[in-house]
Structure 1
């Protein structure tokens, strides 16, 4: 299928959208970004037009011709199955399972507990003070990073990147979560393997181009 009609609905600081930008760039796929500001105007993701496109009112959404795709992990695997270029998953079943486990550690266990709508609920519904919201965020990031560091250190499959010497789905998830960790002043000293892998990733143009501050809607 042609990649000429790829349109990514994205917010510059969304880590889920960041994952997809990395994947698109790694596969050298041309795409247009349509910004969806998650805070302005009460959150543009809640507009009638965008809600019709994505009933969850979340980013990212990827439109590929007539196909409308939701959820960053599903989008990344779709890109891997539909397009050529470097694969985001290993060839062997055990390797694919390991990469998915590392990726889902971030996407399923860390990120959902500290994303914007959780923080807004704490603030707007329960009146949780900011200092406590930030403590919550750091707690879950640190807990996940502790496990991920061990999983990487203890596996012979870990190479320059999370799995071997080419970036995978796991690296697409790790880098944005480290970006979030710095936003919340998480001490990364206990996670040298994560930081080392991040440095290897950021040396690649695909990761550099996907950075939040390099997006057209960055403010």
Structure 2
């Protein structure tokens, strides 16, 4: 595992994020940390080399998944839990949830469509299993099927709520889940987004926000030098 803390002063660092550059779950948390203006130390975990299965890492997360956030004595190893923790601890640093109960529930639902009905079907462990049991072609077809199914649901669900962003004109929790999912669907799985006009418009909006741009996989310290191309 390799560290990278950018130009942040070591004395200012408090939070440590164990992350993999291309992990959409890590991507979510990076966006939140950026939005809230929180300094953190980046600890790279190379999923392709199996570093997530090392004894060192599984002490932090027995499941062997990223991200993991360490805040003093507290260790959190689920992106949803991490985001809610950050929101509770730093509520006035760009709130991730609206005060309105209805809109808050909409954010939870949209986020959960991504986290439970799309992302698990594209993680490295799942894709490797499909490839080993069937074929690389089946792996891609399997993943694109679940992404498309989730995107169709999101288009229908968000049509009554989306403004500039997923649930209005402010960035909230739903956007933190949507942005990485859309980005990776396009970049990795070459999804045709013409059938998803709402998600495509949201993606354009996310690409204009510095907190989202700085969290992009290609900009992380463990990203391959060729990833920007």
Shorter-chain TM-score tier: over 0.9
What residue ranges of structure 1 are gaps of 5+ in the alignment?
none
Q: What is aligned with 1:118?
A: 126
Q: What is aligned with 1:185?
A: 190
What is the CA-CA distance between 1:199 and the residue it aligns to? 1.1
Q: What is aligned with 1:139?
A: 145
Counterpart mapping for 1:26-175 below 5 A: 26-40=35-49, 43-83=50-90, 84-124=92-132, 126=133, 128-153=134-159, 155=160, 157-175=161-179
SS in 1 for 2:165: coil
What is the CA-CA distance between 1:92 and the residue it aligns to? 1.5
How many residues are matched?
211
- For 1:174-210, what per-residue CA distance to the aligned partner results, in whole angstroms no more than 9, with x for missing partners? 1111122111111111011101111111111000000
* Preserved CA contact (<8 Å) 1:167 1:201: no
Q: What is aligned with 2:7?
A: none
* Preserved CA contact (<8 Å) 2:17 2:41: yes
Counterpart-to-counterpart distance in 2, 1:81 and 1:19: 16
With structure 1 as the length reference, what TM-score do the two structures score? Answer: 0.94
With structure 2 as the length reference, what TM-score do the two structures score? Answer: 0.90
Counterpart-to-counterpart distance in 1, 2:198 and 2:109: 17
Counterpart-to-counterpart distance in 2, 1:178 and 1:143: 13
* Preserved CA contact (<8 Å) 1:123 1:129: yes
What is the CA-CA distance between 1:65 and the residue it aligns to? 1.0
What residue ranges of structure 2 are gaps of 5+ in the alignment?
1-11, 225-229
SS in 1 for 2:169: coil
Which runs of structure 1 show a deviation greater than 2 angstroms over 4 or more consecutive aligned residues? Answer: none
Counterpart-to-counterpart distance in 1, 2:130 and 2:117: 18
Counterpart-to-counterpart distance in 1, 2:170 and 2:46: 32
